Each structure stands twice: as C-alpha cells, then as structure tokens.
C-alpha cells in the first residue's frame, strides 16, 4: 500500500468528517428553519466528500476495509483532522466563524488539489469545489451579517473569531505525508497560499467591521493525532454503534 | 416590536426553456439570503436551474371579489378561439 | 355584513367545496374555516419540526456513513416540510412567530408520537417504517384538500416523503437479517412503537370531535378508525416479511371482514401524552424553545445588517 498517499487522504477527509459531525449536532436546533436546512446541507456536502475520500483510501488499503472501518474504527490518535474543526458549537457565531475559517482554506486547497497528479483526488476536488464555493459564500455572508449586525452580534462574532483564530495556523502545517505527497505532485503545497489566506480573512473581517486578531500564539496537534478534549466526546458519539456492536452490518 | 424576517415568494425555473413557476415562500432578512435559502429549501432535489425571489409585500394581487368584472367577460368571447370558425374538413394545414 | 348575507356566502362557499373547487387565501371564507385550517396546518407543521428532535438525536450516532447521510437528509426534509406548512398557514393571516409562540406556550398541539424517546438505533428504523407509514396514510388524501396552499404543500411533502418510509424499513430489514442481537433490537423497537403508531391516527370515531366538519371541508377523507384499519392491514404483512411480531395478542386476520382484528388501545396513555405527561414532552418543548430563544440575536442581527445595507444602497444612489 502507498502509506503516504493513504495518510494524506485521511488528512483531508478527517477534517470533513469531524466538521460534518459537528454540523450534524445542530440539526433541529438552529436559529430558524431556513438556517437549519442550510447547515444540514453543509454537513451533507462534507459527508459526501468524506465518503469519496474514504472509499478511495479503503481501495488503497486493499484489505477488505470499507469506508466505515476508516470512519468509525480508528483510535483517537489515528484521526488527523485539524483542531479547528473539532471546536464546539458554542453559539451560532462560533459555528459560522469555524465554518468560514475552514471554508476559506478548504476552497483554496481544493483549487490546488484539482491539479493533483492523482486522478482520483483531482476528480474529487473538481466535484467538491462547487459545494465548497457555496459553503464559503454562505459562511462569509454570515460572518458579515453577524459582525456588522447588532452590537450583541458584533461582540459575539468578534469573540468567536478571536478564539478560533488560534487554530488557523495549523491548517498550514505539513506532516511527513504532506511533504512526501507534495514532492510527488499529488499533494497541495499549502504554505504557498498562506499569505493569500490571511489576506482574504482580513478582507472579509474588515468588511464585517471586525478586528483581525493579532495573536501570534497558535494551537497545534490535531494533524499529528493529538487532539483537544473535545475529540473523545465526538468519537464516543460517532463510534458508539460500531464499538458497542462490533462486526455487524447496518 | 422586533423586526421579523419578512416573507419572500420563490419562483424556480426547473430547466431552461420553461418559465419560472411559483414554488412557495420562506423567510429571509434580505434578498441574498432569500436566494440562498430558496436554493437550500426548494432545489435540494435538483428541481431548478434559476431562482427568482421577491418580497411578498411587493406583489399586488387581484381581489377575488372582482372576479366577475375581471374574468367573466372573457368567457363568452368564443371568437378568440380557433374552434369558433367553421371550415370544411378538406382544408388542410390550418 | 348582515347575518343573512353571511349565511348566503357560507352556503355558496360550502357549495364550492362540494363541487371540488379549491379555496385560495384571498377568497372569502367562514371564520371557522380559517381557524380550523390554522389549527390543523400549524399542528401539522409543529409535528414536522418537533419530529426532527427524536430522530436528530441519532444523527451523530448513526452506525454507518450511508445511514448518517440518509438520516440527515430525512431530518432536513422534515424541516423543509415544516417550512412549507408554516408558509401555507401564513397565507391565512397569521405569522410564523405567532405560530411558534402558540407551540412554545403549549397552546398548539403537535403529534404525540414525538414525545416518545428514541433509545436505540432500531427506533430510527421503526419511526421511518411505522410513524412515517401512518403519516403517509394521513397525508396522501390531503393532497386533494379544499384549501389550495395546504393541498399544494402536501403534494410536495408527499413526493419528498416517499423515501422516508423506505429508509426506515430498510434499517429494520438490515437489523432483522443481522445477528440475533440486532433482530432483538428491531423487535424491541416494534414493541415500543406499535401502539403509539396506532394512536397517532387519532382517537376513535366516537371520541373524535372534528371528524364531521373536517370531512365536509376535505381535511379528512376517511375516519380515524378507517385509517387505523388501513394502517394495520398494510403494516402487519410488512412485519411478517421482517420476521418480527406485532405486540398484540389479539391481532388476527378476519376472513369475513377482510381485515385484521386487533386488541384494545390504551387510550389513557394516549390522553396522558396529549396532555403533556408523555416521556419526553418536556424535553421536546425545552429543545424547541432553546433553539428559538438562542437564535433571537442571530435573527435580529440579520435584520439589522439588511437594513444597514439597504440604507447604504440608498445613500450611494442619491
């Protein structure tokens, strides 16, 4: 098996899985029906992408593993999503802030992944990019609405951005698998668009009348499997059935 | 009284070549949001290629009480329909 | 308007419905027609929205990715259906906020079935199979109901709902084809959901206060007892295919009637739940109220932003 590629795929897909799971928690609890429906759509898009990635990863493993084995049966250390996506749905400002900070990265990432030498990844990127463009439009619109809405929403949006900002740097960390795949022309050289990413955030945040955080301290660990305290709880939900009733078909 | 999200009427074109048809309504704070919501609410199953949104309050509707004067006069104008005209069966292409 | 004039209008109105004409929002309608429709349509909308909760409860725990996306899509549809129905209701001159207020203060009812807990994954199967099954029986005739916006909303709802019951039955099927433990889980769910599903079709005809009027206005085409019989007749063979047993010792095919005979329903339980003392009434209402109240600042912010943008546009135009 191409271990580097396999690990690389998980690095992309786990972000979508955990964010999709977080959005799934919201279903039925949003500020109104229209936003509920919209957030469920984001979750469905992400989980659809997850399935494409894991199905590909399962094929690479070539050992009867399925998409579900990969999604549900790893230990916490083996999930390599960034810390950003595991942050809780504290309030709607956090939900949209988290979404926006991720979507902006995700979109730039997929634009590059389209050019991957790996045809499967390139194809998944081409399909996902349409969905993610919409996510980005949706979340940045909301960041602007909440930032430039009422005093209350402004302060909530600002504090969400301040907190979540500290998780953005990790998006650009390169693992061994990342570096190996970049060398092979398969992976995306994310540091290349890091400046563009932060410039873009600045543009949107300024339009939203928000202050761009100046913090130079960033959290990291998720990409290496060292997660926040949230992760164990996310996985207890996610894996509940598969762990309680092992080796069954659903 | 707090301001509520107004109601919008949603018109969807199912595919090019067809007209936009009234699909229903929804709430949104502004036109962009109405478009986004309409996309998520009314075209989840691939039902559309184009959407119009208009705030419900901008629609002026005829009053059913005026049905008689508005629409009944058209009922007996049969000469507007091709079947009004008698032509022999032999005449083709008409 | 004189009493006689109103009587005359009412007679014309009833005649239109009898002729199968549709009533549209701006048409004259008796106040009772308006109120009955607001009550029924909003009750229906509330049921969709509260109904998201027991199923939403399992989204994060769905056992496979395929099941997870299907469940998400289904719960999302329910939000959509709630939205279509609230919109239909709003054409009668009441706002969604007022309708929510009626729900949150306990003035409006919703289907009692959603006050039962979903304690295992099989409950998601049972809800799709039984609860959606019973709902479809209730809903299909409404596609032809007399009030246009309601009928149109129901056409859309029924079209979208068609995957819901299949989704539920497939979950049950998979469980019943699985390990003994899985089959046990399916049987347990059927045991708990069977009777509440029968109750869902409403009190017996003798007890039902609205039937006669509702029949006239085509809000109903069949009586509760007829619908219940139809539900039982079509569901029992489906249970047979699954190989699980309907929890009713009196259930027996009656050759003469061409229907299943069935046992006594515990109506005390039904009324207890309707009156707010079911296992999850409190939890469901709390969840809805929290969502609404916690969303207040978000909705407000969106309005504030919209009006700021609007005034900026006007300013630059000047």
**Rounded to 5 degrees, what angle do the CA atoms A106, A110, A113 make?**
140
CB contact under 8 A, B26 and A41: no
- On chain B, the residues whose CB falls within 8 A of the CB of A146 are none
The model's confidence at residue C318, banded by pLDDT at 50, 70 and 90, is: low
ipTM above 0.90, yes or no: yes
In a domain, B87, yes or no: no
Q: How far apart are CA B27 and CA B7, in angstroms?
A: 5
Q: Do A41 and B28 touch (CB under 8 A)?
A: no
Which residues on chain B place their C-beta less than 8 Å from a C-beta of chain C?
2-5, 7, 24-27, 29-30, 33, 41, 44-45, 61, 63-65
Q: What is the pLDDT of residue C314?
A: 82
Low-confidence ranges of chain B (pLDDT < 70): 1-2
Q: In this structure, is residue B72 part of a structural domain?
A: no
Nearest to A38 among B29, B32, B37 (CB): B37
Instruction: Read off the pLDDT of each residue in A164-193 and give the average, rounded to a whole number.
Output: 97
Q: What is the CATH number of domain A3-244?
A: 1.20.1260.10
Query: Cβ(C235)–Cβ(C193) under 8 Å?
Result: no
Residue A204's alpha-carbon distances to A147, A162, A190, A232, C205, in angstroms, are 10, 14, 20, 33, 61
**CATH number for position B49:** 3.10.20.520
B27 CB neighbours in chain A (<8 A) are: 32, 34
Residue B41 Cα, gap to closest chain C Cα (Å): 6
A32:C299 CB<8 A = yes
Helix/strand/coil for C186: helix
Residues in chain A with CB shorter than 8 Å from the CB of C75 are 27-28, 40
Q: Cβ C83–B44 below 8 Å, yes or no?
A: no
Q: Is residue B17 part of a domain?
A: yes
Mean pLDDT over A170-174 rounds to 98
Inter-chain residue contact C301 with A248, CB threshold 8 Å: no
Q: How far apart are CA C239 and CA C235, in angstroms?
A: 6
* Cα–Cα distance, C276 to C126 (Å, whole number): 23
pLDDT tens per residue, range A205-227: 999 999 999 988 999 999 999 99
CB-based contact, A37 to chain B, within 8 Å: yes
Cβ–Cβ gap B44/A41 under 8 Å: yes
Q: Do C84 and B24 make contact, defined as CB atoms within 8 angstroms?
A: yes
For residue B38, what is the nearest residue in chain A, using CA coordinates?
A34
Contact between A116 and A186 (Cβ < 8 Å) = yes
The answer to whether residue B38 is domain-embedded is yes
> Which of the other chains make 3 or more beta carbon contacts under 8 angstroms with chain C?
A, B
Q: What is the pTM of this model?
A: 0.95
- For chain A, the average pLDDT equals 97
Picking from B5, B7, B61, the nearest residue to C90 by CB comes out as B7
DSSP-derived letter for residue C114 is G
Confidence of residue C208 (pLDDT cuts 50, 70, 90): confident
Q: What is the pLDDT of residue A66?
A: 96
Average pLDDT over residues C88-115: 96
Domains of chain A, by residue range, sit at: 3-244
* pLDDT of A95 strictly over 90: yes
Strand, coil or helix: what is A124? helix
Spell A70-103 as b/e; 16+ CB within 10 A means b.
Answer: bbbebeeeebbbbbbbbbeeebbbbbbbbbbbbb
Residue A128 has pLDDT above 90, yes or no: yes
Cα A133 to Cα B44: distance, rounded to the nearest angstrom: 17
Domain count, chain B: 1
Confidence of residue C4 (pLDDT cuts 50, 70, 90): confident
Q: Which domain range does residue B17 map to?
A: 1-59
């Amino acid at each position: 098996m191409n271990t580097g590629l396999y690990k690389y795929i998980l690095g992309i897909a786990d972000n979508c899985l955990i964010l999709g799971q977080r959005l799934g928690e919201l279903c039925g609890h949003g500020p109104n029906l229209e936003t509920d429906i919209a957030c469920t759509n984001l979750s469905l898009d992400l989980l659809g992408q997850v399935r494409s990635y894991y199905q590909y990863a399962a094929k690479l493993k070539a050992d009867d593993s399925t998409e579900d084995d990969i999604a549900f049966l790893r230990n916490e250390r083996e999930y390599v999503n960034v810390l950003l996506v595991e942050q809780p749905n504290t309030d709607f400002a956090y939900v949209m802030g988290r979404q926006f900070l991720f979507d902006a990265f995700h979109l730039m990432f997929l634009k590059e992944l389209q050019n991957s030498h790996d045809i499967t990844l390139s194809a998944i990127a081409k399909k996902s990019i349409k969905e993610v463009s919409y996510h980005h439009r949706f979340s940045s619109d909301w960041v602007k609405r909440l930032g430039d809405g009422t005093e209350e929403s402004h302060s909530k949006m600002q504090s969400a951005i301040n907190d979540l900002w500290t998780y953005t740097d990790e998006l650009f960390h390169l693992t061994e698998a990342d570096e190996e795949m970049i060398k092979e022309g398969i992976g995306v050289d994310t540091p290349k668009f890091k400046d563009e990413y932060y410039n873009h955030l600045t543009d949107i945040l300024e339009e939203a009348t928000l202050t761009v955080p100046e913090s130079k301290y960033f959290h990291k660990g998720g990409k290496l499997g060292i997660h926040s305290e949230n992760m164990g709880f996310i996985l207890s939900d996610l894996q509940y059935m598969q762990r309680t009733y092992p080796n069954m078909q659903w | 009284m707090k301001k509520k999200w107004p109601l919008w009427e949603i018109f969807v074109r199912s595919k090019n070549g067809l007209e936009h048809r009234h699909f229903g309504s929804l709430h949104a704070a502004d036109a962009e949001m109405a478009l986004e919501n309409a996309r998520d609410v009314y075209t989840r199953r691939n039902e559309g290629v184009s959407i119009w949104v208009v705030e419900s309050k901008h629609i002026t509707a005829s009053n059913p009480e005026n049905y008689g004067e508005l629409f009944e006069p058209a009922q007996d104008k049969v000469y507007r329909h091709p079947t009004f005209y008698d032509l022999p069966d032999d005449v083709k292409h008409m | 308007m004189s009493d006689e004039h109103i009587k005359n209008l009412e007679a014309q109105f009833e005649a239109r419905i009898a002729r199968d004409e549709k009533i549209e929002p701006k048409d004259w309608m008796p106040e009772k027609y308006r109120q009955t429709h607001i009550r029924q349509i909003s009750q229906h909308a509330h049921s969709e929205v509260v109904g998201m909760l027991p199923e939403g409860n399992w989204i994060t725990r769905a056992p496979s990715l395929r099941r997870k996306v299907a469940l998400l899509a289904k719960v999302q549809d329910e939000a959509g259906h709630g939205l279509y129905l609230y919109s239909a209701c709003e054409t009668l001159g009441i706002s969604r906020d007022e309708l929510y207020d009626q729900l949150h203060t306990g003035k409006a009812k919703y289907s009692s079935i959603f006050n039962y807990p979903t304690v295992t994954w099989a409950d998601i199967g049972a809800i799709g199979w039984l609860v959606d099954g019973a709902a479809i029986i209730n809903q299909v005739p409404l596609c032809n109901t007399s009030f246009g916006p309601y009928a149109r909303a129901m056409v859309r709802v029924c079209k979208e709902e068609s995957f819901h019951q299949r989704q539920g039955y497939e979950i049950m099927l998979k469980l019943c084809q699985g390990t003994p433990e899985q089959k046990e889980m399916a049987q347990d769910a059927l045991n708990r959901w069977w009777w509440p599903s029968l109750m869902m079709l409403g009190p017996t005809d003798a007890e039902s206060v609205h039937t006669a009027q509702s029949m006239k206005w085509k809000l109903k085409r069949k009586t509760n007892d007829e619908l219940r019989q139809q539900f039982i007749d079509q569901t029992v063979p489906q249970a047979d295919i699954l190989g699980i047993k309907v929890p009713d010792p009196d259930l027996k095919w009656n050759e003469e009637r061409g229907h299943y005979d069935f046992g006594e329903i515990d109506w005390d339980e039904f009324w207890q739940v309707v009156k707010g003392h079911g296992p999850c009434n409190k939890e469901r209402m709390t969840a809805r109220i929290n969502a609404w109240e916690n969303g207040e600042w978000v909705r407000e912010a969106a309005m504030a932003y919209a009006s700021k943008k609007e005034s900026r546009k006007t300013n630059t135009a000047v």
